Every structure is written in C-alpha cells, then in structure tokens.
Amino acid sequence: QVQLVESGGGWKQAGGSLRLSCAASGRTASNYVMGWFRQAPGKEREFVVGINRNGIITYYADSVKGRFTISRDSDKNTVYLEMKNLKPEDTAVYYCAASTGIAVKLTNGLVDYWGQGTQVTVSS
C-alpha cells in the first residue's frame, strides 16, 4: 500500500496562487492513478483533477480548468497541484488520492488511498 502526505496549504487572497504537494511513501506513486479532491464546509468531497501513471493524461473538473495544473515527479515520488487565480469558492480541505484503477476521472469510490488533507482558505 501507499501512504500519502499533503503539504502546501494555507491562506491566500483571491487571485493568488498556491502549490500543494503530495508525497507518497511505501509503494511508489507511479503504480497509481493520482488525483486531488476537495471538501468545503457542509459539502461533499468532490473531484478536482486526476493524472494517469505516466503523467500524460489528465482530467480536470470544470470549476478548476485553466486555473489548476496537476503534475507528478516520479523521481521524488510526489504529485503537485499548482493553483492559480484562486477564488473564495476554492476554499476547502484538499485531499490527495491514489487509485489502483485506470480511470483518470476519479470518483470517491475509485480511490484506494487518501491523504489526511490540507486546508486551503481563499479570502475575497
């Protein structure tokens, strides 16, 4: 199995940028489809973006398309989420996710491993 640890969350004003990191340990992250989900207060956890094992195929939720970029570094066993032009509605706990399946458009049910989450707060 794999353990996932997120970092990089914090507070930003609208329009700012943040980069989240997800460090994998145990099994190498390249064995998994990786992704990010988020959960805002009072809402269900939602899919943000997924990336396939070789980093070529990605799928973004419409709400973040053009603003967020996912990437993975196999040497560092780490997945990144670059977030630009942040909006208050991006405020949420962001979770790193790993799936043993092949689908890049992840759902909660397809995720085999979760990180503990990192808080992102965007003020207007």
Question: To 5 degrees, how large is the angle CA 113–CA 76–CA 34?
Answer: 30
Residue 27's pLDDT is what? Answer: 79
Count H helices and E strands in the chain, helices first. Answer: 0, 11
For residues 80 and 34, give the distance between their C-alpha atoms in angstroms, rounded to a whole number.
Answer: 10
Question: What confidence tens digit (pLDDT) does each residue in 40-53 have?
Answer: 999 999 999 999 99
Question: What confidence tens digit (pLDDT) does each residue in 62-116 have?
Answer: 999 999 999 999 999 999 999 999 999 999 999 999 999 999 999 999 999 999 9
Write the DSSP symbol of residue 63.
T
